[in-house]
Amino acid sequence: MENKRATGGRYEQMAAAFLQEKGYQILERNYRDRYGEIDLIARDGRYLVFVEVKYRASSANGYPEEAVDARKQARIRHAASYYLYSRRYPEDTPCRFDVVAILGREARLIADAF
């Protein structure tokens, strides 16, 4: 049986390919700092997009996007703020938070999720 990190990596790879098909340019994968982790950072037109990838084999335990609760959103926002600061992006950089929800083999994009 695969460990969670390997499984997560496989679905993040799937999400990255899914986003690239939609025209996103993937800039970073698995960005980590002391504030948290961001699965994917991408460019979509003029937007810098911070993407959380969630996977569920089935909806028996809820839909994948339901796992991106307020606490998780706060950690992602904090990590995104530090990313912008550390990479010296201008303060007025247009940003967005998207979720790629993978249920079984089907991926859905929830743009501007929070």
- Torsion of Cα atoms, 76 then 82 then 85 then 89, to 10°: -20
CA triple 99-58-69, angle to 5 deg: 35
Positive or negative, the CA dihedral 4, 31, 71, 99 is negative
Determine if the pTM surpasses 0.95.
Answer: no
Q: Which pLDDT belongs to residue 9?
A: 84
Q: For the chain, what are the domain ranges?
A: 4-110
Q: Which pLDDT belongs to residue 1?
A: 55
- Assigned CATH topology for domain 4-110: Trna Endonuclease; Chain: A, domain 1 (3.40.1350)
Question: In the structure encoding, which two tokens stand for residue 27, read together?
Answer: 């800039």
Sequence-distant (6+) residues with CB within 8 A of 54 are 64, 65, 67, 68, 99, 100, 101, 102
* Tens of pLDDT, residue by residue, the chain (114 residues): 567 777 778 899 999 999 999 999 999 999 999 888 999 999 999 999 999 999 999 999 899 999 999 999 999 999 999 999 999 999 999 999 999 999 999 999 999 999
Backbone angles phi, psi at 30, to 5 degrees: 50, 50
